[in-house]
Amino acid sequence: MLKRMLLAVAISSVMTQVHADDLTPGVQYDNSSLSELQTLHYYKDMPLAGDDDLANKRHEAMREAALAVGAQNGYVSEMNKLRLQLNSEAKAMDQLWAFKDLMRLAAPGEKALYFLPPVIHESQDVTAHSDDNNRIKVSDKYYDILKKERLVTNPPDWREYLLIDIPVDVSKPVGALLPKTSEEQQLWSDWVSEGWEAGILQANAEMTARVRNLGSDFNGMVRYLRLVGERKITPSYVASQYRGKVDDGNSMHLQQRTFAITAPASFNGNEKEWIPLDLDPRGSYRTPDEQRDANQRR
């Protein structure tokens, strides 16, 4: 008891020496007691200094939720429309992107094993600077192997490029963020529309990127065949091995054939071996039928 009294006296003596200059900077001290602070309550028409901040924070959260809902659903809706349109033109797409016409059987007699050509990328008017910028190289054309050749059991399909199923998390907004007043309803509607349009743009951008990837691979394989015909590329070599029986005691293979690309395609730098091909005005490689028709017109 004596210790408590001494502590109270010490605190009171210190507090009497505290002046305004000694108070914590930025803190307004109004001598409110504990009981007064504990009994603070709201009364009608009380000025609420934080109302605007709370409303702004709520609207900000509502806007983010509305934009997300609109964008997700807009993306899915537009992507579904694009998929339906592509499927309705499936026959034309099969003819346009006929990968099977670019492939050959990996070996005679093998009906389910194909050689898929490499993808050759072509650039024009390429410049390269030295590190110190004292030298620059300019090339009219530049070729590089973008994708290596492969052995596959089925030809690629344009659907694998364009109709990819990418899971989209279409979330529902939290109930607390849904509009409660007519004013909020209008804001919500506008924000959802804004997000929906963004989702449509995203879906179209995604499909455009897929089409470009498809075209890059297909045209790159056509380019490989053209360069092989011009002898600017040494074609790939597929080796095979036949074994009548292979077993390890627990399993056994009969008439086993092994195929492997033992020599990948490589550029031929010997210009004397190059042969120019007859190209149509579009600069594309002519098929044998197109070549015969062109020769007949001459």
Residues in the chain predicted with pLDDT less than 50, given as ranges, are 2-3, 5-22, 24, 26-29, 32, 41-42, 48-49, 281-283, 285
Task: Find the distance separating the first CA and the last CA of the chain, reported in whole Å.
Answer: 122
Cα dihedral sign, 265-267-273-275:
positive
pLDDT score of 117 = 93
pLDDT reported for residue 202 = 96
Query: What is the reported pTM?
Result: 0.69
- Buried b / exposed e over 8-38, threshold 16 CB at 10 Å, is eeeeeeeeeeeeeeeeeeeeeeeeeeeeeee
Which has the closest alpha carbon to 119: 229, 237, 214, 208?
Answer: 214
pLDDT, position 294: 54
What pLDDT does residue 178 have? Answer: 86
pLDDT of 282 reads 46
DSSP letter at 20? Answer: G
